[in-house]
Amino acid sequence: MWESPELSCIAFQRYGKPAILAGSKLIRVYCMQPYQDHAPAIARLAGEIVDRYESVVGRVEPLTLNIAFAEGDFPGYFSDGLILLSSEDLQNYARNTNIRAFYKLLAHEIGHLWWHPAMYRLEDLVGAQWYVEGFTEYASVWSSGEVYGVSEYERRLDYAMERVRNTTRLKPMSEYSYWDYSTIPYNKGFMMLDSLTRLEGEEAVFHFMRSMRDAVHDAGRDRIDAELAIRVANDVFGKDYSGFFDHWIRGIEPVVLRIVDLKDTGADDMRLLTLESNQTLPMPLEIAIKYPDDTEVVTPSVKAGRPEIAVPVRPGASVIELDPRRTLFRTEPLLQNPSMTLEPSAQTMR
């Protein structure tokens, strides 16, 4: 319906409300009857979302944003400053039902102003959905969390992890195209940035997201791939992020982490805990060793093919917990259940 400029013009004249200045943008909202009176409030909501994004990733073009609702059942659509939502979305908004879902959808589509390179066609974005959709999804969930509280963010994160865990035919994110109609790059891309936030903090991650946006813009139809993310991340964070993005964008093999040994060293009843992993983990692994009076936390890096991750365990240790705060296992969808029991010693791991 939007392919013909004449047709869309007619529709706009019939349904459009005058543009309002909201946030830094001119925003027009086109609602079908009998919902036209909701247009100004939706424009203001869109303006708030724009403001919220601009406060963390700065301003971007274009100045004008058109939001239209159309008949039919389809997910949100974005193309270069035009956002198309369905009549059902508008009805939900008007009835004040499922308002969080409406906010989240609108925030996602508006987020594409930052993370959707206008000069790329969909076929140019094969393998780049982790960027276009994943970054946008992270931003929209972050924005939802700002409005509805951290519990809303956590709920969305849990949902994303469930979706990824329950997918039987997982491909590397670098192999998805829009024709797969898969939510994996949305959810896993969001989880990747959540994981990065746990490592670097929110502000630094927004700096990275803005830098990625600029790099994609400057690249002008170059490939948006893991190499680009690694280059930008190394620059922004000042350390080597090749393992992290390799793991998230190109990997699918489940991480297997297991205890090899808990053996006596012969010295002062000290024992040595040895772990091995089949691949490099994207974050340091926290291990809590509980003693009667205190808990010692060690954070070794786990590298692929290097089984000797040795952790000294002093006498009197009662429990050894891997990832006690669940910072790693919570966001790592590929990791198998870490619970294990040590035999024949009375030590337990969970």
- Take residue 237 and report the two structure tokens written for it: 């964070």
Q: Report CA Rg, the chain.
A: 24
- Cβ neighbours for 238, distance < 8 A, ≥ 6 positions apart: none
Gap between the Cα atoms of 332 and 126, Å rounded: 24
Closer of 15 and 176 to Zn ion (Cβ): 176
Gap between the Cα atoms of 252 and 168, Å rounded: 11
Closer of 104 and 271 to Zn ion (Cβ): 104
Gap between the Cα atoms of 260 and 311, Å rounded: 12
Mask of contacts with Zn ion, 128-157, x by CB under 5 A? -----x------------------------
- Within 13 A of 125's CA, how many CA atoms are on the CB side? 20
Instruction: Give the sign of the dihedral formed by CA 326, CA 327, CA 328, CA 334.
Output: positive
Tell me which residue of 35, 5, 39, 38 sits closest to 19, measured CA to CA.
39
Residue 27 belongs to what H/E stretch? strand 25-30
Mask of contacts with Zn ion, 212-241, x by CB under 5 A? ------------------------------
Closer of 10 and 119 to Zn ion (Cβ): 119
Task: For 182-218, give the DSSP string.
Answer: -SHHHHHHHHHHHHHHHHH-HHHHHHHHHHHHHHHHH
Q: Site size for Zn ion, by CB under 5 A?
A: 1
- Within 13 A of 250's CA, how many CA atoms are on the CB side? 12
Gap between the Cα atoms of 213 and 113, Å rounded: 10
Pair 164, 132: CB distance under 8 Å: no
- Take residue 303 and report the two structure tokens written for it: 């590298």
* Near Zn ion in 95-134, by CB under 5 A: 133
DSSP state, residue 255: B
Closer of 140 and 347 to Zn ion (Cβ): 140
Q: Which parts of this chain interact with Zn ion (CB under 5 A)?
A: 133
